[in-house]
């Protein structure tokens, strides 16, 4: 990777959740970055975001923002026209963290995950870069049996959880077939910081579940709650682990590597355990967990709860698959000294507490409801729901 006084990294998607973690990590390590920004950002708003992310992490290092150059991102077909400008800025490496995680909007997925990637690869060839690093996802294989290996996916999956995973698999193929030296980094679902619980991303994954729960259900009866909650482990990583793992992979792994950034399987909580831990806050009398949508009883569930179960079905579909990831690359990085804190039920609790403490809606609900207030004051362990049922009650 390039260092100060040498050359620069073109970091695309630097304003996103994961891209800004990468940007902050690179700057802290002394790298020079060129970040193309879309119209909704300015150089100053981007720097402010980086500063506030670093403050949340309590990183006090002096960052020299002179090492950050921002330019306007042109329309996708004009990106290769940046060659001369980027050459003059010393760009000899591209890190591509832009992406769409929309599950179903195939046009948007094509525009961002395929067309943008193709255009950046053309630019990379014209610049004769040393390496093209691509931020993919651990779930890009789609639903396949057995171990997901750290190679380009060879087989067509039985099915894809969403159009999104398919588009990421296609983008990986474009990168690896481009002829450029490459690195593909595949994180699992990223959640908040393992130490403080703060989370800088959009409300996806667990955060979507928590936010939706508070919005749709909490003003109503707390007697009985229903969840689709598979008994499989949920593949989560903390954002601090993502950042450390991503930077270490860029610095240490050889060209043409593919690496999974995932927590150790044995430490991960199951979805059922996460539901149990979450329900404990709300003093729920009864929690019903279904392995999948087919287990939901046809009668006895109100319309509101049905909407809730429909809304969460896609994520729980992904969670129900018994994912197993090869982690040879990460094991190698850990052996070389990488501190990568695995997700456990307790570390999710840290993120959950942070979410509750910063959700006005959750706070209002807990305040309003005396039971909720007293429940919040109790420890999770002493407040396990009276009954956790599995399957049809
Ligand atoms: N978040 C996770 O848990 C997770 C886990 C595994 C893999 N990933 C992968 O990481 C990637 C980034 O995820 P994220 O959570 O950081 O998403 P995010 O916060 O939505 O960031 C997306 C980034 O892509 C940029 N972008 C979107 N559309 C673009 C376009 N048409 N042209 C140029 N730039 C565009 C955005 O720019 P603006 O700021 O201007 O909108 C932003 O910088 C995704 O591709 C996803 O596959 C994410």
**pLDDT tens digits along 236-278:** 999 999 999 999 999 999 999 999 999 999 999 999 999 999 9
Q: Is residue 14 domain-shared with residue 79, that is, in the same domain?
A: yes
Q: Is residue 98 domain-shared with residue 205, that is, in the same domain?
A: no
Query: What angle separates helix 271-281 from helix 205-216, to the nearest 10 degrees?
Result: 40
Is residue 107 exposed (0-12), middle (13-18) or buried (19+ Cβ within 10 Å)? exposed
pLDDT of residue 389: 47
pLDDT of 92-121, one tens digit each? 999 999 999 888 899 999 999 999 999 999
223 belongs to a structural domain: yes
Q: Is residue 183 domain-shared with residue 200, that is, in the same domain?
A: no
**Using an 8 Å Cβ cutoff, are 239 and 300 in contact?**
no
Q: What is the share, in percent, of the chain residues with pLDDT greater than 70?
A: 91
- Inform me whether the pLDDT recorded for 5 exceeds 50: no
Q: Is residue 181 domain-shared with residue 205, that is, in the same domain?
A: no
Residue 221 CA to ligand 1 centre (angstroms) = 37
Residue 68 CA to ligand 1 centre (angstroms) = 20
pLDDT of residue 359: 93
333 belongs to a structural domain: no
Neighbours of 173 (CB within 10 A): 13
Ligand 1 nearest atom to the CA of residue 39, by list position: 40
Q: Is residue 183 domain-shared with residue 199, that is, in the same domain?
A: no
Q: If DSSP states are collapsed to H, E and C, what string results for the chain?
A: CCCCCCCEEEEECCCCHHHHHHHHHHHHCCCEEEEEECCCCCHHHHHHHHHHHHHHCCCCCCCCHHHEEEEECCCHHHHHHHHHHHHHCCEEEEEECCCCCCCCCHHHHHHHHHHHHHHHHHHHHHHCCCEEEEECCHHHHCECCCEECCCCCCCCCCECCCHHHHHHHHHHHHHHCCCCCEEEEEECEEECCCCCCCCCCCCCHHHHHHHHHHHHCCCCCCCEEEEECCCCECCEEEHHHHHHHHHHHHHHCCCCEEEEECCCHHHCCEHHHHHHHHHHHCCCCEEEEECCHHHCCCCCCCHHHHHHHHHHHHHHHHHCCCCEECCHHHHHHHHCCCCCCCCCHHHHHHHHHHHHHHCHHHHHHHHHCHHHHHHHHCCHHHHCCCEEEECCC
249 belongs to a structural domain: no
199 lines ligand 1 (CB under 6 A): no
Q: How confident is the model at residue 369 (pLDDT cuts 50, 70, 90)?
A: low
Q: How confident is the model at residue 299 (pLDDT cuts 50, 70, 90)?
A: confident
Backbone angles phi, psi at 248, to 5 degrees: -65, -40
Ligand 1 nearest atom to the CA of residue 189, by list position: 3
Residue 19 CA to ligand 1 centre (angstroms) = 7
What's CA 279's distance to the chain center, in Å?
23
139 lines ligand 1 (CB under 6 A): no
328 belongs to a structural domain: no
78 belongs to a structural domain: yes
Q: Is residue 205 domain-shared with residue 303, that is, in the same domain?
A: yes
Residue 72 CA to ligand 1 centre (angstroms) = 17
Q: Is residue 177 domain-shared with residue 286, that is, in the same domain?
A: no
Query: Which of the listed residues 129, 156, 187 is the one where a domain comes to its end?
Result: 187
- Inform me whether the pLDDT recorded for 384 exceeds 50: no
Q: Is residue 349 domain-shared with residue 285, that is, in the same domain?
A: yes
230 belongs to a structural domain: yes
35 lines ligand 1 (CB under 6 A): no
Residue 79 neighbours by CB under 8 Å, 6+ apart: 73, 116, 119, 120, 122, 123
38 lines ligand 1 (CB under 6 A): yes
101 lines ligand 1 (CB under 6 A): yes
How far apart are the C-alpha atoms of 53 and 21, rounded to whole Å? 8
Which residue is closest in CA terms to ligand 1's atom 21? 16
Q: Domain limits at 273?
A: 195-234+266-322+343-390
Residue 162 CA to ligand 1 centre (angstroms) = 16
Residue 21 CA to ligand 1 centre (angstroms) = 12
Q: Is residue 202 domain-shared with residue 169, that is, in the same domain?
A: no
Tell me, what CATH number does 101's domain have?
Answer: 3.40.50.720
Average pLDDT, the chain: 89
40 lines ligand 1 (CB under 6 A): yes
Residue 234 CA to ligand 1 centre (angstroms) = 21
For the ranges 155-164, 312-321, 341-350, 365-374, the lowest mean pLDDT is seen at 365-374
Q: Is residue 220 domain-shared with residue 134, that is, in the same domain?
A: no
Which residue is closest in CA terms to ligand 1's atom 24? 98
15 lines ligand 1 (CB under 6 A): yes
Which pTM value belongs to this model? 0.92
Residue 269 neighbours by CB under 8 Å, 6+ apart: 233, 234, 277, 343, 344, 345, 348
189 lines ligand 1 (CB under 6 A): yes
Mean pLDDT for the stretch of residues 68-91: 97
Structural domains of the chain, count: 2
Best residue among 73, 99, 184 to mutate for probing ligand 1's pocket (most ligand atoms within 8 Å of CB) is 99
């Amino acid at each position: 990777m390039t260092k100060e006084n040498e050359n620069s990294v073109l970091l695309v998607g630097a304003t996103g959740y994961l891209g800004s973690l990468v940007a902050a990590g690179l700057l802290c390590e002394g790298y020079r970055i060129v970040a193309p920004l879309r119209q909704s950002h300015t150089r100053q708003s981007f720097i402010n975001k980086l500063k506030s992310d670093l403050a949340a992490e309590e990183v006090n290092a002096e960052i020299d923002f002179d090492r950050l150059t921002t330019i306007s991102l042109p329309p996708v077909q004009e990106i290769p026209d940046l060659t001369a400008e980027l050459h003059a800025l010393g760009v000899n490496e591209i890190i591509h963290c832009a992406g769409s995680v929309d599950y179903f909007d195939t046009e948007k997925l094509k525009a961002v995950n395929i067309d943008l990637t193709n255009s950046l690869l053309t630019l990379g060839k014209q610049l004769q870069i040393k390496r093209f690093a691509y931020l993919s996802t651990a779930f890009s294989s789609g639903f396949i049996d057995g171990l997901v290996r750290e190679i380009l996916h060879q087989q067509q999956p039985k099915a894809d959880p969403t159009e999104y995973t398919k588009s990421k698999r296609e983008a990986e193929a474009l990168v690896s077939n481009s002829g450029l030296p490459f690195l593909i980094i595949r994180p699992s679902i990223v959640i908040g910081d393992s130490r403080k619980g703060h989370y800088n991303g959009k409300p996806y994954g667990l955060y979507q579940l928590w936010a939706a729960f508070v919005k749709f259900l909490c003003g109503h009866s707390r007697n009985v709650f229903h969840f689709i909650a598979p008994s499989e482990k949920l593949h989560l990583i903390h954002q601090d682990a993502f950042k450390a793992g991503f930077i270490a992979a860029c610095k240490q792994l050889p060209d043409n590597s593919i690496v999974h950034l995932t927590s150790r399987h044995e430490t991960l909580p199951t979805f059922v355990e996460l539901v149990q831990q979450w329900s404990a806050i709300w003093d729920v009398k009864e929690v019903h967990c279904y392995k999948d949508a087919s287990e939901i009883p046809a009668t006895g569930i109100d319309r509101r709860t049905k909407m809730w179960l429909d809304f969460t079905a896609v994520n729980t579909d992904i969670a129900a698959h018994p994912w197993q990831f090869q982690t040879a690359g990460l094991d190698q990085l850990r052996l070389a000294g990488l501190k990568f804190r695995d997700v456990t039920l307790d570390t999710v609790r840290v993120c959950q507490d942070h979410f509750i403490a910063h959700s006005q809606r959750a706070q209002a609900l807990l305040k309003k409801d005396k039971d909720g207030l007293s429940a919040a004051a109790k420890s999770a362990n002493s407040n396990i729901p009276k009954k956790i049922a599995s399957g049809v009650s």
